[in-house]
A and B are shown apart, each in its own frame.
Chain A
Amino acid sequence: MTYHDRNISRRDMVKAAGFGAAVATTAVAAPMAARAATAPGHQVQYAMVIDVRKCIGCQACTIACKTEFEVPLGKHRSWVEAVEKGTYPDVSRSFLPRLCNQCSEPQCVDVCPTGATYKREEDGIVVVDEETCIGCKYCMQACPYDVRFINPRTGTADKCDFCLHRVANGLEPSCVNTCQGKARIFGDMNDPTSEVSKLIAKNPVTVLRQEMGTEPNVYYIGADHADEADIRFANQYVRVDTNRPDEERR
């Protein structure tokens, strides 16, 4: 694994140090502190809470992710969809940031014929081993969230990994770090003192396509689940901008 070898910018290091100091003094639960503070045997499951009420659809996370990983043109590890609903004057427009759900029951892992995709035991992040993957696209078919793509550079499956190279070094994922409205919150779900645990406890949260049984670890607060293809909204004007080359959700 090369996750630890990746260079972290100086700015991030300084920030991490500062953040760490803040944690030490104020005991605010940040992801790295959570991991450091937990007892042995504690199973870390990283999760993200996305407070859609705070999302302004600026796409800063999309761009941060693109630059962090040099994601090839036309592909996205994370992106923000826009949902328009209703007829004037009863209308709404909200945003739905999307990324890999790092499921607790990941079907992509179940179908991978080479074992290239697996869920890390130490932090619950689902990763793709670039050296083992053959690019058969089975995982892309199996993922109910369409978060996987073939990276044209390597020909292997690629997706969001919660910025493992950053998280492993005590930083937050790039999208969380950059989020203007602080709509994305990251942390250990199994640590009751973590920010994500508190938010999940205090708010009604939803996950995407719960009926798929994947047990996602990305939670939404105030998300509009309206979808063009959903018959529940057949008599409503619903338009979903995926902001991706695939103009339809799959």
Chain B
Amino acid sequence: MLELNWGLPVIGYLFLAGVGAGALTVSSSVLLRGGGGGFGGDNVKIARYGALLAPPLLIIGTGMLILELGTFQAAVEHGDFWRLFRFINLFLTINLSPMSIGSWILAFCILASLAYAYTFIAQGVEADEKTVNLRRGLAWIGVPLGIAVAVYTGVLLGAMPARPFWNTPVLAFLFLMSSLSTGVAAILLLKAIFGGNSHAPESEPMDGGQFAKSAYLLAASDTLLIGFEVLVIFLFIMFGLLTIGNSAQAMAVILPGGDLAGLFWGGVVLVGLILPVLVELKYVIPTLLHHRPFAMPRSVEITVCLVVLIGGFMLRYVVVIAGQVTGPMGI
């Protein structure tokens, strides 16, 4: 058995920070898109869900990352108090290591997300002009920072020829797509749970229910993002299949017959991508093509969001494990 250097804490971090970064990006985008984006007056309410969700997810994820540090584990074992904070060394320097740049980005992202969330806690949806301006300013920072956090993780894993499964530029884009789609799903989930039923009353005309409309926009964008994710996964696999050598050998672990094939095709592709995209399409297409009212029942909404989130976790799980159980061929 190979010992995994990066285990569940890192997988958990990649997932939680991915959702958090995605939620921050989506929330900021929705806010900046404003009433003109088809959200009616609902955009700030939706942005609020993402804003409040991002900091705890980012902070818990980062906390898990610290648990995986060798110095932290040794400090706990030997009761060495100061060694617990050895990770501070990350912030005493900056170099071209993706982890160094990533740590700084992550730190700024957490700070920005906290400030952004504060503008929603201090004042409600109806805020005074000063808060609104601050909120919009932070949203302008939140979009690039959220994307950066999602992308750097893929760059970090992708930078090493010694880990051929990860060693592809597509991985960063895959993580970005997954982050955004799980971010949308997380916001939609909160909205479904706390925001009431998106099901527009039968009597109401298509453009009547603002709530239904914003749910439609979220579901539609989630469908689009998952579509992109499917495309990136296709590229990811094709890249592995059509090349020869280390990449092709490593990719075999998720292809039929490989050790992680079941988890990948069942957990990531079927449960995480195909299932939710089909369900979403069932409700999105009538509205998109035939301008019928968007009518996704709350239970379906919650289920789809949970399934997308599970898929996002499975993706990180399979990728992190697969990268470590495969290596270069030969010696």
B134 on the A face (CB < 8 A): no
A230 on the B face (CB < 8 A): yes
The docked-state distance in angstroms from the alpha carbon of A245 to that of B69 is: 21
Interface residue tally on B, bucketed by range: 35 or more
The docked-state distance in angstroms from the alpha carbon of A135 to that of B83 is: 11
The docked-state distance in angstroms from the alpha carbon of A69 to that of B148 is: 42
Number of A-B contacts (CB under 8 A): 133
* Complex contact A143–B162 (CB within 8 A): yes
The docked-state distance in angstroms from the alpha carbon of A151 to that of B161 is: 24
* Complex contact B2–A250 (CB within 8 A): yes
Residues of chain B from 1 to 32 with CB closer than 8 A to chain A in the complex: 1-3, 5-6
Q: Which of A51-59, A105-113, A119-127, A180-188 contacts B (4 or more CB under 8 A)?
A: A105-113
B302 to chain A, nearest CB (A): 37
B234 on the A face (CB < 8 A): no
A30 on the B face (CB < 8 A): no
* Complex contact B70–A136 (CB within 8 A): yes
Residues of chain B from 92 to 150 with CB closer than 8 A to chain A in the complex: 92-93, 95-100, 102-103
Q: A132-B89, A154-B74 are in contact. Are A250 and B327 (CB under 8 A)?
A: yes
Q: A110-B96, A114-B92, A114-B93 are in contact. Are A155 and B330 (CB under 8 A)?
A: no
- Chain A: residues with Cβ within 8 Å of the partner, total of 46
* Complex contact B162–A155 (CB within 8 A): no
Question: B95 contacts which chain A residues (CB < 8 A)?
Answer: 112-113, 115
> B315-331 interface mask toward A, CB cutoff 8 Å, 1 = contact, 0 = none?
00000000110011111
A100 on the B face (CB < 8 A): no
- Look across to chain B and name the residue whose beta carbon is closest to the beta carbon of A157: B70
The docked-state distance in angstroms from the alpha carbon of A154 to that of B80 is: 10
* Complex contact B160–A141 (CB within 8 A): yes
A116 on the B face (CB < 8 A): yes
The docked-state distance in angstroms from the alpha carbon of A101 to that of B8 is: 30
Question: B89 contacts which chain A residues (CB < 8 A)?
Answer: 114, 116, 132-134
B210 on the A face (CB < 8 A): no
* Complex contact A134–B162 (CB within 8 A): no
- Look across to chain A and name the residue whose beta carbon is closest to the beta carbon of B77: A152
* Complex contact A137–B6 (CB within 8 A): yes
Question: B33 contacts which chain A residues (CB < 8 A)?
Answer: none
The docked-state distance in angstroms from the alpha carbon of A208 to that of B89 is: 33
- Look across to chain A and name the residue whose beta carbon is closest to the beta carbon of B324: A141
The docked-state distance in angstroms from the alpha carbon of A155 to that of B85 is: 12
Q: Which listed residue (B3, B93, B99) contacts A138, Cβ 8 A?
A: B99
Residues of chain A from 60 to 115 with CB closer than 8 A to chain B in the complex: 96, 107, 110-115
- Look across to chain B and name the residue whose beta carbon is closest to the beta carbon of A148: B5
- Look across to chain A and name the residue whose beta carbon is closest to the beta carbon of B91: A114
> A220-250 interface mask toward B, CB cutoff 8 Å, 1 = contact, 0 = none?
0000010101111000000000000111111
Q: List 29 A-B contacts (CB under 8 A).
A: A111-B160, A112-B97, A113-B95, A113-B103, A134-B89, A137-B5, A137-B6, A137-B70, A138-B99, A141-B160, A142-B160, A143-B162, A144-B161, A144-B162, A144-B327, A155-B69, A155-B83, A208-B331, A211-B245, A211-B246, A227-B329, A229-B327, A230-B330, A230-B331, A231-B329, A245-B3, A247-B1, A249-B331, A250-B2
Q: Nearest 7 A-B pairs (CB), nearest first? A: A135-B70, A155-B74, A113-B99, A144-B162, A113-B100, A155-B70, A155-B71
**6 other A-B residue contacts (CB within 8 Å) besides A141-B160, A154-B71, A155-B70:** A111-B98, A113-B97, A134-B71, A150-B70, A231-B329, A250-B2
Residues of A within 8 A of B (CB): 96, 107, 110-116, 132-138, 140-144, 150-157, 208-209, 211-213, 225, 227, 229-232, 245-250
